[in-house]
Amino acid sequence: MSQRTFAIVKPNAVRSALVGEILRRYETARLKIVGAKLVHASREKVAGFYAEHEGRPFFPGLVDFMSSGPILVLALEGDNAIADVRALNGATDPAKAAPGTIRHAFGPTMGSNVVHSSDSPESAAREISYWFSADELFSYAQKSSVADV
């Protein structure tokens, strides 16, 4: 079943030139990029996005980190997109992430684990609408090669 999900390539991954590799992994898994934009989010925007964590000890550091530089926000679409992106990303703690996952390969610590993704259809809908307007999301047929165009 086709569904949409949301992902963020975090500031440390953008600064480390990992955007292309992360996008390649998503696209190779047959996920379509239906929305993408590079933003330098304000502290207020980040705090609003992570509002469910407000009051937790890690919240101030999370807001500092996520507003420290540009992030790439993504809307992705595919069969079982939510589960597929979470599997590609790996466990939140890179030390516990399976070999071959994005976080295992590139995430230095749990607090700077290079990517974020939605964990449910409800959070995907909320997170996509938080960062994208309807006219910034696209539908198109995904081809298997450039020759199929």
Q: Which of 10, 32, 77, 89 is catalytic?
A: 10
143 is catalytic: no
Degrees to nearest 5, angle at CA 57 with 38 and 86 = 45
113 is catalytic: yes
Catalytic residue chosen out of the listed positions 12, 26, 77, 127? 127
Asked about 50 being catalytic, the answer comes back as yes
Considering 27, 45, 50, 136, which one is annotated as catalytic?
50
> Is 127 among the catalytic positions?
yes
Point out the catalytic residue in the list 26, 89, 104, 113: 113
- Enzyme catalytic residues: 10, 50, 113, 116, 127
